[in-house]
Structure 1
Amino acid sequence: MAREKKLIIGAINITIQPHTPQKYLELFKDTYKLKNAVNISGDQYGLLANMYKVDREQDELGPITGDIFKFTNIDKNAQWFNVSTNDFASADDVDSVNIPENLKPNSSRFSYIFFPEQHLLFYEGYYDGNSFGPSNAERFISRLFNVDSIVEKFGKVDVTHVPEVNALTEALKLPFKERIEMVVKTPNPDNHADAERRVMQRMRAQNVEKFEQKFKAVQGQSIELDDDLKSMAHISAKNGSFYIKGKDHNFKPIEFSTVKHPLKITEYYDPDVESAFELFVRVASSMKDVVTEWFRR
């Protein structure tokens, strides 16, 4: 029996206005055609390398999958170092370097799957010994879509990493809530998400793409969560960010931020029984509706 391997899966909520499953597929197709290498951080870049249906026989509006490649982009104009001389490389040394433009070092591959109906993208955050962290994944997807030609056609593309719902639920139970801060980007209401729909309609009517709300408790008191505030907490967690500060029953200071608690699903698999991709598709397919339901209020 082969040794079990680890796979970590993250999820990102993608929203455009107005939205339909067909529009989301067009967004991906148009972006993929650009073949843009996107800066993630420092000299790390990413590329949406391919895109195809999960199942050839599936409905036209079914999920799409493909690969994200992460690699190092070498700045050939930067100063080079010669480890033999312990000094900067000479002009002759640098001239002898010949790296084809189409070859990139330190590459790693991560699968993604996008469900246009739920506008959720699942990605491999850890595969085959390589990591693609939540903040880097969110930054890559945001920069990938928010280029001039895409924004001109689809408008601003909002990207939010899905937070860990259990951590959010526990944070809302904090007995002494001193401060709450929420950032809300225009949501795309799923079926029966009445609260999201009302927020979206109000933001559209006021020509607002993002707003912030801050609540501070009366000295010595705790903020009381009514149904509206609970709904906004879930909406901001899915479409922006949610932060709460307070104390537990022992008066120990507690802080929680959805930004610091991204959803990371860890699974283990036997490569002799199931491939990493098969596991990835299976988990993502089972989680898409679960994630949507978590934040439906």
Structure 2
Amino acid sequence: MAREKKLIVGAINVTMKNHTPERYLELFRDAFKLKTPVNISGDQYGLLANLTKLEKAQKEPGPITGDIFKYTNINNNAQWFNTSTNDFASDDEVGKINIPENLKPNSARFSYLFFPKQHLFFYEGYYDGNSFGPTNAERFVKRLLNTPDLLEKYGVINVTHVPDHDKVVDALKLKHKERIDLMVKRPNPDNHARAERKVMQRMGAMNVESFSQTYKAVQDGSIDVDDDLETMAHISAKNGYFKIKGKDDANKPVAYSTDNYPLQDKSYYDPDVELAFELFSRIANRLKNIISEQFRR
């Protein structure tokens, strides 16, 4: 029996103006055609390497899938170091280095799956010993979909890593809520998200791309969260951020932010029994339904 392998799946919410499932597909297909390397952090880059339908016979607009390749981009003009001499490499030594421009070191592959109807992007956060963290994944998707060519055609694409919903619920149960901060980027509601649709329509009518709200309790008091504020907390968690500060039952200071609790589903599988992508696809489909229900308002 083979040793079990770990698989982590994360989720990112993608929203755009004048949204339709077909337009989301067009956006991702255009992003793929550009073949633009995306700077993730420092010398780390990523590339949307391929894009296909999840099922060949599926009807449009159906889910799409492919691979993200993460790699190190070497700056050939930077100073090289010789570990044998413990000194900078000489010009003659550097002159012997010949790395083809199209070859990149430290590469890793991660699958993705995008559902245009729910505008949810799922990615492998850990596969075959390599990690693709939530911050880097969110940054990759945001920069990928907001290149100058795409901005000109589609406008600003908002990207938010979906948080752990249970943590949002727990934060709202905090006994002494002293301060609440939230920020909402224009949402794209599905057919059942009445509250999101109302917020989107109001923002559209006001020509607003995003807005922030801050609530502070009276001195020595606690914020009483009503239905409207609770709804806005869930909307902001999925379409921006939600933060809360206060004290727990033991009067201990507590601070919560959705940025610190990204959704990460961890599973283990036997590679002799199941393919990694089959498990990834099954988890993504399950999470898609859970997220749509949890954040529905």
Tell me which interval the TM-score lies in, with the shorter structure as reference length. Answer: over 0.9
Q: Contact conserved, 1:81 with 1:89, CA < 8 A, in 2?
A: yes
Spell out the pairing of 1:258-297 with structure 2 (5 A cutoff).
Answer: 258-297=258-297
**TM-score under structure 1 length normalisation:** 0.99
Distance across 2 between alignment mates of 1:221 and 1:256 = 18
**1:68 equivalenced with 2:68 (yes/no):** yes
Q: Which runs of 4+ in 1 moved over 3 A?
A: none
| Whole-angstrom CA distance in 2 between matches of 1:189 and 1:18 | 12
Query: What does residue 128 of structure 1 align with?
Result: 128
Question: Identity, % of aligned pairs?
Answer: 67
| Native 8 Å contact 1:179 1:217 kept in 2 | yes
Tell me how far apart the structure 2 counterparts of residues 241 and 124 of structure 1 sit (CA, whole Å): 22
Q: Tell me the SS of whatever aligns to 2:59.
A: coil
Output the CA distance in 2 between the equivalents of 1:86 and 1:131: 31
Gaps in structure 2 of 5+ consecutive residues: none
What residue is the counterpart of 2:94 in the other structure? 94
In structure 2, C-alpha distance between the alignment counterparts of 1:91 and 1:186, rounded to whole Å:
54
Q: Which amino acid aligns with 1:30?
A: D
Instruction: Output the amino acid matched with 1:271.
Output: P
Query: Are 1:188 and 1:197, in contact at CA under 8 Å, matched by a contact in 2?
Result: yes
How far, CA to CA, are the matches of 1:236 and 1:287 in structure 2? 19
Distance across 1 between alignment mates of 2:6 and 2:157: 32
Partner in structure 2 of residue 18 of structure 1: 18
Inter-partner Cα distance in structure 2 for 1:91 and 1:98? 13
3-state SS of paired residue (1:201)? helix
How do 1:1-297 and structure 2 match up within 5 A? 1-297=1-297
Letter in 1 for 2:210: K
Q: Secondary structure at the match of 1:101?
A: coil
Q: TM-score, normalised by structure 2?
A: 0.99
Give, in angstroms, the shift of residue 206 of structure 1. 1.2
**How many Å apart are 1:94 and its aligned residue?**
1.2
Distance 1:137 1:174 in 2: 30
Please tell me whether the aligned partners of residues 118 and 289 of structure 1 are also in contact (alpha carbons under 8 angstroms). no
Following TM superposition, by how much is the alpha carbon of 1:85 offset from its aligned partner in structure 2, in angstroms? Answer: 1.4
Further displaced range: 280-289 or 153-162: 280-289
- Runs of 5+ consecutive residues of structure 1 not aligned to the other structure: none
AA of the residue aligned to 1:152: E
CA distance in 1, matches of 2:230, 2:33: 41
CA RMSD of aligned residues (A): 0.7
Matched position secondary structure for 2:27: helix
CA-to-partner distance for each residue in 1:253-296, whole Å, 9 max, x for gaps?
11110000000000111111101100000111122121111111
